Amino acid sequence: VGINATRLFSVLYHRTLNIGRVMSPTLALIVQREAEIDTFKPVPFYTVTLELPGFTVSGERMADKADAQKLKTACQGATATVKKVERKDKSEKPPALYDLTTLQRDANRLLGYTAQQTLDYLQNLYEKKLCTYPRTDSRYLTSDMAESLPVLVNLVANAMPFRKGIAISCDAAQVINDKKVTDHHAVIPTRNLQGADLSGLPVGEKAVLELVALRLLCAVAQPYTFAETAVVVECAGAEFTAKGRTVKNHGWRALDAAYRAGLKNTEPDKETEDKALPELMEGQSLPLSGAAVKEGKTTPPKHFTEDTLLSAMETAGKEDMPDDAERKGLGTPATRAGILEKLVSTGFLERKKSKKTVQLMPSHDAVSLITVLPEQLQSPLLTAEWEYRLGEIERGELTPEDFMDGISTMLKELVGTYQVIKGTEYLFTPPREVVGKCPRCGSDVVELQKGFFCQNEGCKFAIWKNNKWWAAKKKQPTKAVVTALLKDGRARITGCYSEKTGKTYDATVVLEDDGQYANFKLEFDQQKGGKR
């Protein structure tokens, strides 16, 4: 599908357009998100907040500012009554171990690494026998690893600087599930950490290793437990709410917080920051110390980062896939990083730094491509359908030949019936026009904004448009002149300015390339009287 569609669309639209059954739907996700952001119109809303002894409560969002002001005024002269107090003990289980995709997402969010960088660092750690196999989509370990796990956990804890002063526990049952391990188990550090000189590791590898180690320690740690209090207060006929929490056991979050504290640029975890509420009783009256109207605006969807895009790829089209499909989403953990890199290298995606995050933005050509691509090639459903068919082959309900025939038929139909959409010939940036062959290496020379350049990266041949020699004659090398210079080594030019006389003259320019610089000289016609 990739090779045939790439050829078809490249030929039809006169430039290389890389298409793939994973690449194109991934690009479509990004283009669609940008369209949602572009068309988003923020809507203002208003919230009334009341200051009560020791805590603040907020009302519902209101669309009309005048109504909010009215409510605020009404509250200022009234008392607040506690209508409802709910206390619940809650527990937050530790996160599961890393598969490749979740590790790439966290490394992007916390360390700013691209998916490809994370895979490369992890591959190096695997080759150094410090981490287990990287290209996995499982987040669990097998039961035969249960016995040796406490030893590994202790050893990893001792090697990590961030766990100083934090007690380590190991509940192996939390991370063991044979049914959820396919070819490879989750990514964890190995026992070779003991005695290894971690300070000698390159920065990227060390950071990824610490992240993998942190996740192992968190995954087997105790749950984070807290008591949550939700309060409903009534004032002037309207309801206001507030939540607070009291931590009972920091559990795995203690390790997580200690690790984050050592990172630059990371914000503390908002979820654990709720303050405790004072002791309150239902029916209790509370004095108001102030009321205010706060204005907010609805926010547009966020631009994709590698973290959020990897997550979107993992879940794309999931609801349309059969329950027994072995792989869901777009691509596999092993291929997703490569797909993103290819989209960047082919000019469809750009990485743009904004504050602390790097956003993935589609180029003009990416938007154009998604505009002209048939729905079938930009939808994750194609992959979903294939996964379903492969399941049928596995169960003997379909022959491989029939499966391949279906794909051939689809492609023949695409190639045979796809028509260039009218008016789209201007959508893509025009391909660079070749003006001749390079006198040094024989590669193509093309025109760019600032001059004419050889396309061979190792060759530095260039004819610049703002060249001093040409500027003195008040001329600029044109496409026609450069084409002649590259073909014949000489070109006729008219209307050259003479600095001596202030007049203009005609002459022939000769290209003399010395292998380092493109030089020029003038030759004049033989005039009557034999003077040159």
Q: Tell me the catalytic residues.
A: 133
Three-state SS at 191: helix
Contact, 80 vs 290, CB < 8 A? no
> HSE on the CB side for 301, CA within 13 Å?
17
Angstrom distance (rounded) from CA 98 to CA 306: 16
Beta carbons within 10 angstroms of residue 409's beta carbon: 10
**Residue 348: partners with Cβ closer than 8 Å, 6 or more residues away:** 18, 27, 362, 363, 365, 366, 369
Angstrom distance (rounded) from CA 233 to CA 59: 9
Query: Residue 122 burial by CB count (10 A; 0-12/13-18/19+): exposed, middle or buried?
Result: buried
Residue 174 sits at φ, ψ, to 5 deg, of -65, -25
Alpha helix positions (H), 48-144: 65-76, 100-106, 115-127
Name residue 477's amino acid.
Answer: P
Q: Which of 332, 326, 305 is nearest to 100 (CA)?
A: 332
**Residue 344: partners with Cβ closer than 8 Å, 6 or more residues away:** 350, 351
Contact, 270 vs 321, CB < 8 A? no
Three-state SS at 453: strand
Contact, 462 vs 454, CB < 8 A? yes
508: enclosing H helix or E strand: strand 504-513
